Copies of this chain bind each other. A is one copy, B any other.
Amino acid sequence: MAEGTTEAGTAADSRSAKGGRAAGGGRAVADGQPAGSRSSGGDPAAGATVTRAGPIGHRMAPRTGPLPRRPTMVDVAQRAGVSIKTVSRVVNNAPHVQQDLVDRVLNAVAELGFRRNGIARTLRAGRTTSTIGLVIEEIGNPFYSTIAAAVAEVAGTHETMLITASSEEDPDREQQLLLDLCSRRVDGLIVVPAAFDHGFLRGEVEMGLPVVFLDRPSGGLHADTVLLDNRGGAHAGVRHLIGQGHRRIAILLDSMGVYTMRERLTGAQEAMTDAGIPYDAAMIRDQVHDPDSAARTVGELLAAADPPTAFFSTNNRITVGIIEELWRRGDDSVLVGFDDFELSHLMPRPFTVIGYDTREYGRQAAQLLFRRIDGDRSWPTTTVLPTHLLPRGLPG
């Protein structure tokens, strides 16, 4: 840690790094001291972001002159004393080039540090960009990052890279991102729709751009769609509760504006109806957007007359909130939750999960997309992935 001259200071934009914002957010800090003044090691500046600038190991000056131009095939051709076409042939491993020319070209390539310009290569008519676009709600969400990982994996087998963009559930932003990706001439698009209507993509689709919708269907544009068996899963989950003798089952959901929520509610209600349990509006709670609001809602429901004996959660954020509140209260109401998540089996209260293979979900969409990219022009399809009930009861 003592190489070269050093110059300590605080990075220009590090204001937001000081103090708060530790992962896990806002908890108390060691020894009750304020974050900024705490020492967390031998480093005198610990607690704040530290930036060192300067040469390391050997003499070196910051660059100031104009940057050297990137070498092109013309430069390589001149250096090797051949035509650019020959350079192109060598670079692309085309046949019918004499060995000594190949060597001269490869030497020139190495000496100049030539790297083929993929942009220009793509421009020549008909070439693909070997890039696909994935538009999701938010890449930081583990569900979507698993999807992205699966899509990237499939893309890799097709020598294709992945541009991922987050719509943040905003239809305008989604449209902007999608059209931007079209301008970049991606070879295909996978979209988790935020908007209802993707008619603005029709022109692109007609000109051969493959599009796959994932997790939610889209109105306005008929294209391949990969969905989850939301109804079936919810149905099975609620039936599981009914089978345990529960009749008062509370259903918590995020927003009726989201397709998956509507489907899951429908499935849950069908299970209730099948069992002859009368509809009770008081047992259905909408607009539960995060764990805290889920916890609050649980409190309200349990405080009411004739409280529920079981809960059905329609997504994992709600599930977490319900668990926290039940745990706090020592309440032994039973819970079934849609979406499995990492470490769910280590939660303080075991609960039954409606799970599915998220990686397979993304993989299906990606394989479908590449089938289209590879020329499949048959009817658009709708694929429905199954869900699985993973029962975990209370030990007792």
Which A residues are closer than 8 A to B by beta carbons? Answer: 11, 13-14, 16-17, 21-24, 27-30, 35, 38-43, 46-57, 60, 62-64, 67-70, 113, 115-120, 122-123, 129, 131, 138-142, 144-146, 148-150, 152, 161-166, 179-185, 203-204, 206-208, 222, 229, 231-236, 240, 267, 270, 320, 323-324, 327, 340-348, 353, 355-360, 363-364, 367, 377-392
Given contacts A42-B270, A388-B29, contact A120 B117 (CB under 8 A): no
Contact (Cβ within 8 A) B46 A229 = yes
Chain B residues whose CB sits within 8 angstroms of the CB of A384 once the complex forms: 43, 49-52
Contact (Cβ within 8 A) B118 A232 = no
Given contacts A30-B236, A40-B232, contact A161 B145 (CB under 8 A): no
Chain B residues whose CB sits within 8 angstroms of the CB of A51 once the complex forms: 381-384
- Which residue of B is nearest A138, CB measured? B149
State A47–B387 Cα separation when bound (angstroms).
7
Contact (Cβ within 8 A) A119 B122 = yes
Partner of A163, one of B13, B55, B162: B162
Would you give the shortest CB distance from A283 to chain B, in whole angstroms? 20
Partner of A185, one of B119, B341, B364: B119
Partner of A52, one of B47, B203, B381: B381
Chain B residues whose CB sits within 8 angstroms of the CB of A144 once the complex forms: 145
Chain B residues whose CB sits within 8 angstroms of the CB of A327 once the complex forms: 346
Would you give the shortest CB distance from A5 to chain B, in whole angstroms? 10
State A379–B348 Cα separation when bound (angstroms).
51
Would you give the shortest CB distance from A243 to chain B, in whole angstroms? 9
Chain B residues whose CB sits within 8 angstroms of the CB of A389 once the complex forms: 29-30, 38, 40
